[in-house]
Amino acid sequence: MADVNQGSVLPGETTPPALDGLNATDSNGTDAVNATVAKFVATPEGTALAYGSLVFMALLPIFFGALRSVSCGKSKVAGENGCDYEYRNSSDMPETITGRDAARFPIIASCTLFGLYLFFKIFSQEYINLLLSMYFFVLGILALSHTMSPFMNRIFPASIPIKQYQLLFTQGSGETKEEIVNYEFDTKDMICLVISTVVGVWYILKKHWIANNLFGLAFALNGVELLHLNNISTGCILLGGLFVYDVFWVFGTNVMVTVAKSFEAPIKLVFPQDLLEKGLGASQFAMLGLGDIVIPGIFIALLLRFDVSLKKNTRTYFHTSFLAYIFGLGLTIWVMHTFKHAQPALLYLVPACIGFPVVVALLKGELTEMFRYEEVSAEDAAAKEETTQVEKKDK
């Protein structure tokens, strides 16, 4: 007998409407009915609405995150782009992923996953999830606030004065003084933080699926925007490594399934399959992990920046990879329903997102140019600019 895991899921796994078994779970992941009650069976309309909504929600952070990643992308070829909004804090600056980072990432992810598995086996699930809820409460507020910032900049009334604030914590004094926290914000950021805090309190108190999705979409969009692969080869290494990671932990062991059943955090997008019957109080969910959005998303965003670097006023590789993602996710859902078993979505997304653009590059004769394209981090770009200025002065 197998439980229907409707409560939580780890990135890298999607959950079918119902597995073989008699137990169902509610939105908090707790047993909702006993073995004497028939398992929940979604209607065709409810299933189509749920998975159609999940696909649509998955595309939003990829599309808008990729566009926002271009705004402040620092590439060797097209590093002259201006920013639509200013990054005032170092924590909001894009983080460049190198080949070494990509190679280590699956190992780190595996250690983290297995560590969570051991924690849930040794310690009380209730207390672990309480700590995780508080942790993601803070992260979610910051992520949602950052997501709303460009929108707030556009709609904020010009008649309202904007005041600047700074949160500063230091350690030591005199020459030994060291900054611990230095966060700058203004009136618009304060409004975003207030709105985000309301959503956070709603999530903590109710664990409502809409609040979960608001945080999940914010996490995904920030990930696609701020995590930059430095070149195509690094992207292939990252996606290839996580392809193996996903397949091994889903099919090879029960670790991911165990953690997924125990883990309560906004690290997935959910949509109720019984929405048509129960409205916003629905409790039987289809799910998609954020890893299945962010990991392909940062590769798609890289291809968009590559399109920009070509200066041909086309977005061929972005459109190709975007359609490839839709194809891969649709294939995942089809296989999941055919075999009635949770699927590692990266098993289908990785070949599609890498294969389609590579084939297009081969047909256009731009494969070499694609793999030569490289980006540098903001720190490296600044260091290079400083070196150039010094050389000019010496001359």
pLDDT reported for residue 354 = 97
pLDDT over threshold 90, residue 193: yes
Three-state DSSP class for residue 131: helix
pLDDT reported for residue 391 = 58
pLDDT reported for residue 353 = 97
Q: For this structure, is 84 an active site residue? A: no
d(CA 90, CA 382): 14
In the block, which residue shows the tokens 């955090």? 265
pLDDT over threshold 70, residue 87: no
pLDDT reported for residue 340 = 81
245 in Cβ contact with 253 (< 8 Å): no
pLDDT reported for residue 394 = 61
pLDDT over threshold 90, residue 44: no
pLDDT reported for residue 382 = 56
pLDDT reported for residue 42 = 77
d(CA 102, CA 231): 11
Angle at 85 between CA 83 and CA 88, to 5 degrees: 105
Q: Are strands 95-97 and 227-229 parallel, antiparallel or unpaired?
A: parallel
41 in Cβ contact with 296 (< 8 Å): no
Question: What's the pLDDT band for 9 if we cut at 50, 70, 90?
Answer: very low
d(CA 228, CA 301): 8
Question: What's the pLDDT band for 387 if we cut at 50, 70, 90?
Answer: low
Choice between 258 and 65, residue whose per-residue pLDDT is larger: 65
**Highest mean pLDDT: which of 35-39, 129-133, 174-178, 378-382?**
129-133
Give every CB contact of residue 385 below 8 A, 6+ residues apart in sequence. Answer: none
Residue 281 per-residue DSSP state: G
Among 246, 274, 380, 394, the one annotated catalytic? 246
Chain centroid offset of residue 272 CA: 20
Average pLDDT of span 261-274: 88
In the block, which residue shows the tokens 């119902």? 18
pLDDT over threshold 50, residue 5: no
Average pLDDT of span 193-198: 96
334 in Cβ contact with 325 (< 8 Å): no
The percent of residues in the chain predicted with pLDDT above 90, rounded, is 48
371 in Cβ contact with 303 (< 8 Å): no
Give every CB contact of residue 264 below 8 A, 6+ residues apart in sequence. Answer: 7, 8, 28, 29, 129, 132, 133, 207
67 in Cβ contact with 42 (< 8 Å): no
pLDDT over threshold 80, residue 33: no
pLDDT reported for residue 148 = 93
Task: Average the pLDDT over each of 87-91, 101-105, 142-146 and give the range with the smallest value.
Answer: 87-91
Q: For this structure, is 274 an active site residue? A: no
Question: What's the pLDDT band for 34 if we cut at 50, 70, 90?
Answer: very low
Name which of 266, 264, 260, 148 is nearest 216 in CA terms: 266
d(CA 317, CA 67): 14
Q: How many CB atoms lie within 10 A of CB 380?
A: 14
d(CA 190, CA 187): 5
Among 20, 31, 101, 292, the one annotated catalytic? 292
Task: Average the pLDDT over each of 49-63, 143-157, 351-365 and give the range with the smallest value.
Answer: 143-157
pLDDT reported for residue 6 = 33
- Residue 159 φ then ψ, to 5°: -75, -15
Cβ burial 329-347 (10 Å sphere, 16+ → b, else e):
bebbbeebeeeeebbbbbb
Mind listing the pLDDT tens digit for each residue in 300-354?
999 999 999 999 889 999 999 999 999 999 999 999 888 887 788 999 999 999 9
**Counting every residue, how long is the chain?**
395
Across all residues in the chain, what is the average pLDDT? 82
Q: Give the pTM.
A: 0.82
Question: What's the pLDDT band for 92 if we cut at 50, 70, 90?
Answer: low
pLDDT reported for residue 179 = 81
- Specify the DSSP element, H or E, that contains 228: strand 227-229
Residue 343 per-residue DSSP state: B
pLDDT reported for residue 388 = 58
Sign of the alpha-carbon dihedral angle for 66, 324, 268, 231: negative
151 Rama sector, left if φ>0, alpha if ψ -120 to 50, beta otherwise: alpha
pLDDT reported for residue 386 = 61
Name which of 105, 95, 96 is nearest 237 in CA terms: 105
pLDDT over threshold 50, residue 362: yes
The percent of residues in the chain predicted with pLDDT above 70, rounded, is 80
Q: How many CB atoms lie within 10 A of CB 159?
A: 5
12 in Cβ contact with 292 (< 8 Å): yes
d(CA 306, CA 237): 18
